[in-house]
Copies of this chain bind each other. A is one copy, B any other.
Amino acid sequence: MPAQDDLKPVMTTEDVNALLASAYPQLNRDYRFYEAVEVFPGGCTVRLNADERHLRPGNTVSGPSLFTLADIGGYVCVLSHAGPDALSVTTSLNINFMRKAPAGPVDGHCRILKLGKSLMVFDIDIVAGGQTVAHATGTYSIPPKR
């Protein structure tokens, strides 16, 4: 992908995790153990520390858990690059599941494909056990500045 020199984070990784904890407490109570690992210009890395509660029949990390990681990846992209407005919402998300993901760390490598005034498009490679286990593309709406 060509470089997008206009993309610069406006929040640190720590700030994003603190915001996730305060604005979205349900995330790490019911869908536990999601976190931002790194924020960088044009993207971020997020992680799910998957344990038994994230598994589905077949002993693989469940689709909803990987979807949540993808959704969080987009949320961290939009928070970190468009500013800490917790009311950005997902408008669409498309996910392909490719391989079984075992329990353990599941990393999501996110790229911002477009950061517009009212929409952000991103994709995410989801990697576990050294393999790409899922890939998603999604869109977040960005609320107008108040």
Q: Which residues of A contact B (CB under 8 A)?
A: 1-2, 23-24, 26-27, 29-32, 52-58, 60, 62-64, 67-68, 71, 86-87, 89-99, 113-114, 118-119, 121, 123, 125, 127, 130-132, 135, 137, 139
Chain B nearest Cβ from A62, distance in angstroms: 7
- Of the A-B pairs whose beta carbons lie under 8 Å apart in the complex, a sample of 9, sorted by A's number, is A30-B32, A31-B64, A57-B87, A67-B67, A67-B93, A91-B119, A92-B95, A96-B139, A118-B118
Query: Are B67 and A53 in contact, CB atoms less than 8 angstroms apart?
Result: no
Total copies of this chain within the assembly: 4
Query: Are B57 and A29 in contact, CB atoms less than 8 angstroms apart?
Result: no
Knowing that A26-B52, A118-B118 are A-B contacts, what are 16 other residue pairs whose CB atoms are under 8 Å apart, sorted by A's residue number?
A: A1-B125, A2-B132, A26-B53, A26-B62, A30-B30, A57-B87, A58-B86, A67-B93, A91-B96, A91-B139, A92-B94, A92-B95, A92-B96, A94-B95, A98-B113, A98-B114
With contact pairs A24-B56, A64-B67, A118-B118 given, residues A123 and B135 touching in the complex (Cβ less than 8 Å): yes
CB < 8 Å neighbour of A139 from B60, B92, B113: B92
Query: Are B57 and A30 in contact, CB atoms less than 8 angstroms apart?
Result: no
